[in-house]
Amino acid sequence: MTNQSQTSFSETQKVWAEPFKIKMVELLKVTTLEERQQAIKNAGYNTFLLKSDDVYIDLLTDSGVGAMSDRQWAGMMMGDEAYAGSSNFYHMEKTIQDYYSYKYIVPTHQGRGAENILSQILVKPGDYVPGNMYFTTTRLHQELAGGTFVDVIIDEAHDPLSTHPFKGNVDLSKLDALVDKVGAEKIPYVCVATCVNMAGGQPISMGNLRELRVWCNNRNIRIVHDMTRVAENAYFIQQREQGYADKSVKEIVYELCALTDAATMSSNKDAMVNIGGFLAMNDEKFYDQACDLVVVYEGLHTYGGMAGRDMEALAIGITESVQDAHMQARVGQVEYLGNELAKRGVPIVLPIGGHAVFLDARAILPHIPQEQYPAQALAAALYVDAGVRVMERGAVSAGRNKQTSENYMPKLELVRLTLPRRVYTQAHMDVVVQSVCRVMEQADKIKGLRFASEPDVLRFFRGTFEEV
Ligand SMILES: *Cc1c(COP(=O)(O)O)cnc(C)c1O
């Protein structure tokens, strides 16, 4: 059911038609099959190592690849590139306070810069950090600070076939079990992601977050919000949660943020800028500590690694990201792609997520054991077929346990088709659907992979592979 009260679209119209028209275009290059076969070999079967020039439709990520609006570009011209106290910082700060509720804002070059500062301040060696599923850089910073991540997402999130409407929910009984085991004083905060990336872009419900708030209040534990995709989460709450159909995405975003104590943001996702991030909080002492650290790692506390013009574009991008019509088109396009694939029998994670469609690589390549990285192999095969670039989200991304050096073997072995915001058209989506179906038909010809070179950390970015 689509919420009609929030839109001026008529019943007969596609509710997700783009609420913009195109003012400038970027021409795409089409390569030959032979060129792509060579390119993927040169890239060691890792789509992160392909050259963008060799890619036709780039669904690697939604990070920093969105199309800015004319208003954002106009804002770029208003950049106040002062080292200290740029007017764009104050515009950005006020926008974050007004839209996201947090009192204090520390800019960073991107999300992981905020994660680094947060983890260094709040996580002590021996601590445990529970979260609704891990994220690669988030968990690594917790581990580098001496903490141990503990997954407390509901079991349904690990089941690609479960159609639970809020697979991002936290299982409070798992939190209780953790407190029983290690004690509340070993838990500096609960990390709550909105629209959980690694679970397939799945939302947390407001009801669940409210219960978590009470649970944390009773134990004096903070909630830190990974708010990278908070607007997409708010849209799902509007569509699915009782009592929210008449609230705007903007109102729901504010309510979500206000239930938490601090946040890390990768603004190159939801907020549609090419680079940027911030750490936000309500606690003044924590803010002071963060200002001390940001000057070490990022830059002065009024720019933190961002140019003035980028802070201006971010301030404007935030206001556009919470518009209902934008979110309908954004999630509508993802749902279009997912539905077209599902109709043709392609196994995908359900419900379809907010930023991406996830293919179940285990189901598509049953002949490749997880130790031979079926999702990595499928991502490479998809590139070779039509030049569509996607990403592995399975055993390669999960990495190794730092203590035991064993490979983590996640239940979900997925390939992620991520949609940049406001970039591709429906015809592009149709090309992607055709390509996925072609690759599925010849799935038995795809071979497993092994590492040719494996970096120690975040190995999915720069690791190379060879066919088994
Ligand atoms: C992208 C992302 C991050 C890290 O942000 P960067 O800007 O890439 O450093 C953190 N959490 C989630 C959920 C993300 O998707």
Tens of pLDDT, residues 425-458 = 999 999 999 999 999 999 999 999 999 999 988 8
First CA to last CA across the chain, in angstroms? 46
4 within a domain of the structure (yes/no): no
Closest atom of ligand 1 to 113 CA is 9
Identify the pLDDT of residue 6.
Answer: 45
334 within a domain of the structure (yes/no): yes
Select from 62, 116, 133, 197 the residue to mutate for testing ligand 1; criterion: most ligand atoms less than 8 Å from CB: 197
For atom 10 of ligand 1, the residue with the nearest CA is: 111
Q: Of 271, 293, 321, which marks where a domain is finished? A: 321
CATH code: domain of residue 232: 3.40.640.10
Closest CA to 271 of 322, 308, 216: 322
Are 315 and 330 members of one domain? no
Q: Of 321, 347, 380, which marks where a domain is finished? A: 321
| 142-155 average pLDDT score | 97
Ligand 1 center–CA 408 separation, angstroms? 20
pLDDT tops 90 at residue 339: yes
Q: Which domain holds residue 79?
A: 70-321
206 within a domain of the structure (yes/no): yes
Closest atom of ligand 1 to 196 CA is 13
| 384-401 average pLDDT score | 94
Identify the pLDDT of residue 7.
Answer: 45
Are 380 and 449 members of one domain? yes
Are 74 and 212 members of one domain? yes
Ligand 1 center–CA 269 separation, angstroms? 8
**Span of 64-78, 377-391, 449-463 with lowest mean pLDDT:** 449-463
Residue 255: burial class (beta carbons within 10 Å; 0-12, 13-18, 19+):
middle
Q: Which residues are catalytic?
A: 83, 135-136, 226, 269, 393, 460
Identify the pLDDT of residue 175.
Answer: 98
Q: Of 294, 321, 348, which marks where a domain is finished? A: 321
Ligand 1 center–CA 294 separation, angstroms? 18
| 75-92 average pLDDT score | 97
Question: What does the pLDDT look like over 292-305, one tens digit per residue?
Answer: 999 999 999 999 99
pLDDT band at residue 161 using 50, 70 and 90 as cut-offs: confident
User: Looking at 63-217, which runs of residues are DSSP E strands?
Assistant: 104-108, 128-131, 148-151, 189-193
The answer to whether 114 and 279 are in contact (CB under 8 A) is: yes
For atom 5 of ligand 1, the residue with the nearest CA is: 111
pLDDT band at residue 14 using 50, 70 and 90 as cut-offs: low
pLDDT band at residue 160 using 50, 70 and 90 as cut-offs: confident
State the Cα–Cα distance between residues 168 and 233, nearest whole angstrom: 9
For atom 1 of ligand 1, the residue with the nearest CA is: 266
Question: What does the pLDDT look like over 223-274, one tens digit per residue?
Answer: 999 999 999 999 999 999 999 999 999 999 999 999 999 999 999 999 999 9
Identify the pLDDT of residue 401.
Answer: 86
Are 214 and 79 members of one domain? yes
Are 370 and 252 members of one domain? no
Are 116 and 256 members of one domain? yes
Closest atom of ligand 1 to 112 CA is 9
| 396-405 average pLDDT score | 88
Better pLDDT: 406 or 417: 417
| 377-387 average pLDDT score | 98
Helix axes 206-219, 249-258, angle to 10 degrees: 20
Are 148 and 181 members of one domain? yes
pLDDT band at residue 9 using 50, 70 and 90 as cut-offs: very low
Closest atom of ligand 1 to 110 CA is 7
Select from 48, 137, 198 the residue to mutate for testing ligand 1; criterion: most ligand atoms less than 8 Å from CB: 137
pLDDT tops 70 at residue 33: yes
pLDDT tops 60 at residue 86: yes
Are 432 and 331 members of one domain? yes
Question: What does the pLDDT look like over 203-228, one tens digit per residue?
Answer: 999 999 999 999 999 999 999 999 99
Are 33 and 136 members of one domain? no
State the Cα–Cα distance between residues 386 and 58, nearest whole angstrom: 11
2 within a domain of the structure (yes/no): no
Per-position DSSP letters for 108-141, written without gaps between them: ESSHHHHHHHHHHHH--TT-EEEESS--HHHHHH
Pocket of ligand 1 (CB under 6 A): 63, 110-112, 135, 137-138, 193, 197, 226, 228, 266, 268-269, 277
Are 80 and 54 members of one domain? no
Token duo for residue 324? 């209902």
| 273-286 average pLDDT score | 97
Q: Output the average pLDDT for the chain.
A: 95
State the Cα–Cα distance between residues 87 and 92, nearest whole angstrom: 9
State the Cα–Cα distance between residues 281 and 104, nearest whole angstrom: 5
- Whole-prediction pTM value? 0.93
pLDDT tops 60 at residue 341: yes
Are 110 and 180 members of one domain? yes
Identify the pLDDT of residue 8.
Answer: 46
Identify the pLDDT of residue 15.
Answer: 67
Identify the pLDDT of residue 1.
Answer: 41
pLDDT tops 50 at residue 4: no
Ligand 1 center–CA 228 separation, angstroms? 6
pLDDT tops 90 at residue 381: yes
Are 457 and 335 members of one domain? yes
For atom 3 of ligand 1, the residue with the nearest CA is: 111
pLDDT band at residue 13 using 50, 70 and 90 as cut-offs: low
15 within a domain of the structure (yes/no): yes
Helices (H), 241-323: 249-258, 284-297, 308-321
Ligand 1 center–CA 27 separation, angstroms? 28
348 within a domain of the structure (yes/no): yes
CATH code: domain of residue 392: 3.90.1150.10
226 within a domain of the structure (yes/no): yes
1 within a domain of the structure (yes/no): no
Please count the structural domains in the chain: 2
Ligand 1 center–CA 267 separation, angstroms? 9
For atom 14 of ligand 1, the residue with the nearest CA is: 228
SS3 at position 202: strand
Identify the pLDDT of residue 363.
Answer: 96
